[in-house]
Amino acid sequence: MGMSYLEGTCPKCGEKTREQSNTWCYGSPIRFCPRCKQEYLDRRWREVAIDGFDPKSTSPGFYLKAFLLLVVVAAISGGWLYYTTHVKNYYSTLVVTVVIISVIGAVACLGLSIWIALGFAAKTNSHYLEESKRRLRNADYVRKLQAYGYVIPSEYLVGIGNSSGEIRES
């Protein structure tokens, strides 16, 4: 899916941060401040091999329901707009705005629902899962996550005691 930006504040120095992220914030929750260069935990990021995927990224039904809701909103506000312009001889810019936004939102939700249903989301998610598993093969990274309070699945704890930084397969 597309890229977006995630804004926040460094808990160490208070610097406002803005970084590019994927739509679902899949990636390492360990972040680094560009100003003070210290690391911190940002739970908005999901280490998907541990946290799993955002349920909305795997459910076309969620977006289909949103699509239907927005179609109803567009129909009601469109009907009201028609009534006010043809019967009352005026229109409200607020109603026009609601019609436009609900139609755009409906189209976007339908597109997302189709994108998920056709398996494109699963393909993208598998890429993020592989990246997550790759990070979790690094023992130092796993230790950092544990220090931040993450419960690490046992499959990523195999060989955690070695000193090379890499977790050996058993």
Domain boundaries, the chain: 1-53, 59-120, 134-170
Pick the closest to residue 160 from 152, 150, 40 (CA basis): 152
Q: Are 160 and 142 in contact (CB under 8 A)?
A: yes
pLDDT by residue for the chain (170 residues), tens digit each? 567 899 999 999 999 999 999 888 999 999 999 999 999 999 999 999 999 999 998 999 999 999 999 999 999 999 999 999 999 999 999 999 999 999 999 999 999 999 999 999 999 999 999 999 999 999 999 999 999 999 999 999 876 654 445 444 44
pLDDT tens string 49-67: 999 999 998 999 999 999 9
- The model carries a pTM of 0.75
Nearest-angstrom CA–CA distance, 33 and 67: 38
